[in-house]
Amino acid sequence: MSTTDHDDVLRGDAPPAAETAEPADAAPDDWERLVAQVEDWIADDPDPVTADELTRLLRTARQTPEPGATEPLADLVRTDADAARADLADRFSGLLQFGTAGLRGALGGGPHRMNRAVVIRAAAGLADFLLGELEGASPAPRVVVGYDARHNSHRFALDTAAVMTAVGIEVLLLPRPLPTPVLASAVLRFDADAGVMVTASHNPPQDNGYKVYLGGRIVTDAGRGAQIVPPADAAIASEIAHVPSAASVPRAASGWTVLGEDVVEEYARRAAAVAPGGDPAARSRLKVVLTPLHGVGGALTQDVLRRAGFGDVTLVAEQAEPDPDFPTVAFPNPEEPGATDLALALASSLRADLVVAVDPDADRCAVAVLDPRAHVPAVGPQTPQADGWRMLTGDEVGGLLGADAAHRARAARSTAGTRPTLASSIVSSRLLAAVAADAGLHFTPTLTGFKWLSRVDGLVFGYEEALGYCVDPAHVRDKDGISAAVRVCDLAARLAAQGRTLVDALDDLARAHGLHATGQVSARFTDLSRIGATMAALRERPPTHLAGSPVVEVVDLAAGTEDDRGGLPPTDGLRLLTADGTRVVVRPSGTEPKVKAYLEVIVPVARDADRAAVDAAHTTARARLDELAADVRAALGLDGG
């Protein structure tokens, strides 16, 4: 499959549709129906690359062995035809679903893939939604469009601009491939009614996606400038479903505005200022290794850190430039094993203080530190892990940044007269709630996803365990890996000036609130029906004990929740709590064919505990998490795998 951009083509002539022939072993009605769908799509496809791809697939699906062919050759032909038919059936299993994550899927031809035809329909549906919401209003809707460096991102952004301009919508296009936080900030800066970011974030290289933000006159409350939530997602999806074809959608050849570099400059200036003050000498001494994992965040993150006073920032050369094939990583997600190995190795050789990794669209941030507890004996060549380098969990970074945000908010509150709010998702650690209570601040739990976190009223900091942090909600109503990196580096520099580290700060949080240790159990399914069956079985027969403690509360999140911190909308999930405070939240993944269980144990730590006592608490927590994980796997029917 080719995913080459065709930026010089607005309308491509599709190749002629393939002739129809029925495979001998196919059900006639099903096969004829599929062939008709494929041929109709090919005729409507504006991209000759994906049209040709489907034509070749259809030709392969139709082939039968030549008369007199040897059996091995005949088997090969039949195998290829079966694979092609299965591929076509999947590509035409329905229109790629538009939801609260917008669109995301594998690149390729067909309605169940990311391609120009799907994007054109999506842009037309979004345009119809905006025009309907603002019917009769003046001026016309304004939309900001951004894109990253993935395959076809620029082409999809141009198609979006062309579709919206054709119906009178004002379109502002970012000047080049840029991180998602730049787009999110531009939605607020330009008071746009909507924003579109073409990116698949940390997905594999064969994927792309389409995030939608609403603001301006469409959303005017605390969610202004955030990603879409119900009922807007369903309303946009309904408009998309009414678009009859890509060919029916008018597209302008010009008329949109390509923004200048000042939009990047404004973002960089604000991101660098999220940690004002600080000791310039301490910041200049902090030695940081940075990797953007082949994404678009490398140069901008380095520039923002330098503006903030962190001059000793070394980019991982092999991963510094945008590359849509992500050649050095199996999966461009800093949470995945191996993704940050090059950065850790460089940090070890440079004797760095900190490793920062941003994901390909730079909306998430991962941090690695030297931790004496993580030291493991070297087997063979010396490794960063043998030196004691380890990645902090999202909950650990969230706790550190949350405590820092609480300190900043207390100072601001004395003059502003407001009571700020910290927020985290229901699958994240409860540590942030304890930090907020100790600081006299509000705390709000939300459903997973920054579409919920970023619209919390009074928000000063929000995070979720999947490495997402919102440290500057006034300017970026979404997670932002770049501004989070500035806050992390600022905290590390301040601690270093005292002869301390982020690990010491984590120990302080354990002394103040108990050691909150978190982990995950997940199961990937090829048969998607097993996801619902697994959740149903857990609801019918929840475990009575977890890690040796009796289960005292089972909450079905599908019914929604109400408590003294406010209610949550219904979501597919189950929350279990034991007598000793152990908590498990089980839910289907929103982006992958998985069921995930989020685990948390809390081990008491005395406020005056010495290092040895804190070390002992970590050992206890690790053992309890291991026992809890085994019990959860059994409860989910995952014994032995």
- Gap between the Cα atoms of 492 and 354, Å rounded: 8
Tokens of residue 334, six digits: 């800093």
Sign (positive/negative) of CA torsion 439, 444, 449, 453?
negative
Cis peptide before 139 (omega within 30 of 0): yes
Per-residue DSSP letters for 156-198? HHHHHHHHHHHTT-EEEE-SSS--HHHHHHHHHHTT-SEEEEE
CA pair distance 387, 348, nearest whole angstrom: 7
Distance CA 479, CA 481 (A): 7
Return the amino acid letter for 33.
R
- 423: nearest Cα among 464, 391, 367: 464
Task: Assess contact for 91 and 578: CB atoms under 8 A.
Answer: no
> CB neighbours of 413 closer than 8 A, spacing ≥ 6?
419, 420
Residue with tokens 């041929």: 39
Cα distances from 589 to residues 180, 449, 528, in angstroms, run 22, 11, 12
Ramachandran quadrant class, 613 (left: phi over 0; alpha: psi -120 to 50; beta: rest): alpha
> Taking a C-beta distance cutoff of 8 angstroms, is the pair 458, 449 a contact?
no
| Alpha-helical regions (H) of 440-480 | 450-453
Task: Quote the CA–CA distance of 183 and 186 in Å, as a whole number.
Answer: 5
Helix locations, 6-47, DSSP H? 28-44
What residues are paired with 561 via a beta bridge? 568
Q: What is the DSSP letter of 134?
A: T
Bond from prior residue into 46 cis (ω within 30 degrees of 0): no
Look at phi and psi of residue 527 and say left if phi exceeds 0, alpha if psi is from -120 to 50, else beta: beta
Alpha-carbon distance 496 to 161, whole Å?
48
Question: Would you say how long the chain is, in residues?
Answer: 641
DSSP 559: G
Contacts of 115 (CB under 8 A, 6+ apart): 45, 47, 50, 107, 108, 109, 152
Task: Please give the C-alpha separations between residue 500 and each of 24, 130, 161, 433, in angstroms, as whole numbers.
Answer: 73, 52, 50, 25
Positions marked active-site: 201
The pair of structure tokens assigned to 77 is: 């032909």
The region that residue 28 occupies, defined by phi over 0 for left and psi between -120 and 50 for alpha, beta otherwise, is alpha
Does an H or E element contain 431, and which?
helix 431-439
Phi, psi of 353 (to 5 degrees): -90, -25
**Which H/E stretch holds residue 355?**
strand 354-358
d(CA 544, CA 529): 26
> What is the C-alpha end-to-end distance of the chain, expressed in Å?
34
